[in-house]
Amino acid sequence: MPIVRRPRKHALQTLTLLEQAYPDAHCALDYRGPWQLLVATILSAQCTDVRVNLVTPDLFDRYPDPEAMAAADGDDLERMIRSTGFFRNKAHNLQLCARKIVAEHGGSVPQTMEELIALPGIGRKTANVILGNAFAQPGMVVDTHVGRVSRRLGWAEARQPEAVEKELCALLPAEKWTQTSHVLIFHGRQCCRAQTAWCSGCPVVERCPQLGVDRQK
């Protein structure tokens, strides 16, 4: 079915209903501070948040800051994160990222998009997670759930995450970006799933152009 684009007013009304349906929507990764969130988000690639949360307590005890991670034994680091998948590449990126943070940012995670995406293993998705949740700056995170749900709702047309991010940022006010990401992720996981969407339990089903039942103009 072709995408039916919705104006900002319509999108904000739908978003309000979703926020009411998922009042506890939040970042599902366990962390304390920007460094822990950065590490957890890198580990979450192609891995569940639940699995990452099982791995990170011991990891953070062993390597609590960028300085410790930069000096970590590579084999030990790989062993500790093996269950998150792609562990060799993730370990490599974590150490390179830690070393750059120590060398160029005094051991503190930078607070701008430009500086974050210059770090090894950090793309716009990870950077937006950090900006929105660790630094309280607007960050529109686009994962598979956000992309799928936003297209179904008529909020975006693009398939590439960065293009979806641009569409959503143009549609919604900046102060809504971070929480919108959480809400759409929760909705995508619990209701608007990829293969078996639970439309009968959807809190915004009457506003869904995908089903041809959008009665709210």
Catalytic positions:
125, 143
Asked whether 64 and 70 are in contact (CB, 8 A), the reply is no
Contacts 24+ apart (CB under 8 A), 154-158: 154/3, 154/4, 154/5, 154/6, 154/209, 154/210, 155/6, 155/11, 156/3, 157/3, 157/5
Q: Measured between alpha carbons, how far is 84 from 206 in angstroms, rounded to an integer?
A: 39
What torsion do the CA atoms of 117, 79, 32, 178 make, to the nearest 10 degrees?
Answer: 40
Asked whether 82 and 101 are in contact (CB, 8 A), the reply is no
